[in-house]
Amino acid sequence: MNDTTVPETLAYTNGRLVLIDQTRLPGELVTLVCEDVEQTHDAIRRLVVRGAPAIGIAAAYGVCLAKPANRAGYLSAIERLATSRPTAVNLFWALDRMKAVVESTSSDDDLAGVLQAEAIAIHDQDRMMCRDIGRHGATLLRDCHAVLTHCNAGGLATSMWGTALAPIYHLHQSGHAIEVFADETRPLLQGARLTAWELSQAGVPVTVLTDSMAGSLLRTGKIDAVIVGADRIAANGDAANKIGTYPLAVLAKYHDVPFYVAAPSSTFDLSLANGDLIPIEQRARIEVSSPHGVCVVPDAANVINPAFDVTPADLITAIVTELGVVESPDTEKLARHLA
């Protein structure tokens, strides 16, 4: 258990990866056990585990499940897990770390133990990252009493407090009264199903709205700030996050509401000059045409279903990482921040 009342998203025990099955929330709190690489790949692809930091941790543990448990088996596992989702750069960051261990460990006999230690280190590092983002982000939100968020960038997306929700948990535990408004987040409703669930579990007041209500809510003046997570941030500060984030940033700019992005340093991809180069995952038609098994789109109609959009850096008031806060982010500022 973490500092809130929300169970930890994932655990590695007795050679098995145990995940909260986020596809079943909020109706059921159940776990899914992965005992091999293919089960881990499927869990990431199906969003049983989701959120860039949590995907990276799960993938690292997934490498440890490789069979055969030898150098070739681990390298094959890394290659397979890298195909599970294309946008979240933490996936590749974690797998690159695991690959470096495989390539640098001289004895095959030691490999399993060293790989498990590296996966645990990635997990522990994420816990510290969540705390530090919470601490730094709280300085931006300390005068806020109502914030708006999109998708889920809380404990369910990481190892514990999350990224965008970490400052809220930090303030809540310090006694600061703060209310969260959560976009439903179409088409998979991560805001309604996941953000609202975990905040409710932690005793943080939360109100759900449909994505199309955000503009009207911002116009009322009730919202003090918008804060979201990210799955990949380019060198110039352009940030990819769940589809619907970009129009929310435009609305925040129009209504003069600060727009914050919270993400760990592992979410930055400095090899990409700008957000136009970020690969955007295209997901299945059925998620839009038949949500939760109910057909809402006629067969003759086409569907587009990008999982993410990119918010340009000039719409972002500040980016919060475990290292601190970067206001009005650009290439030069971020390079100094991450150096």
Q: Which residues are catalytic?
A: 231
What are the structure tokens assigned to 306, written together?
């990008």
Q: What is the C-alpha R_g of the chain? A: 19
- Strands annotated E in the chain: 10-13, 16-20, 31-34, 146-149, 179-183, 206-209, 225-228, 232-234, 239-242, 259-262, 268-269, 308-311, 318-321, 324-327
Report angle CA 29, 31, 37 to the nearest 5 degrees.
Answer: 150
End-to-end CA, the chain: 33
Residue labelled with tokens 């997901």: 283
How many angstroms separate the CA atoms of 295 and 67, rounded? Answer: 40
Give yes or no for a contact between 20 and 9, defined as CB atoms under 8 angstroms apart: yes
Give yes or no for a contact between 49 and 43, defined as CB atoms under 8 angstroms apart: yes
Counting Cβ atoms within 10 Å, is residue 130 exposed (0-12), middle (13-18) or buried (19+)? buried
45 known member of a binding site? no
51 known member of a binding site? yes
Q: Which amino acid is at 80?
A: R
241 known member of a binding site? yes
Q: How far is CA 157 from CA 14, 30, 225, 246, 302, in A?
A: 23, 16, 21, 20, 31
Within 13 Å, how many C-alpha atoms sit on residue 87's CB side?
Answer: 26
Give yes or no for a contact between 44 and 57, defined as CB atoms under 8 angstroms apart: no
142 known member of a binding site? no
Contact partners, residue 215, CB within 8 Å, separation at least 6:
251, 255
Break the chain down into helix, strand, coil percent, rounded to 5.
Answer: 45, 15, 40
What are the structure tokens assigned to 112, written together?
């399993």
Q: How many CB atoms lie within 10 A of CB 108?
A: 13
242 known member of a binding site? yes
- List the binding residues: 50-52, 85, 190, 241-242
- List the binding residues for substrate: 50-52, 85, 190, 241-242
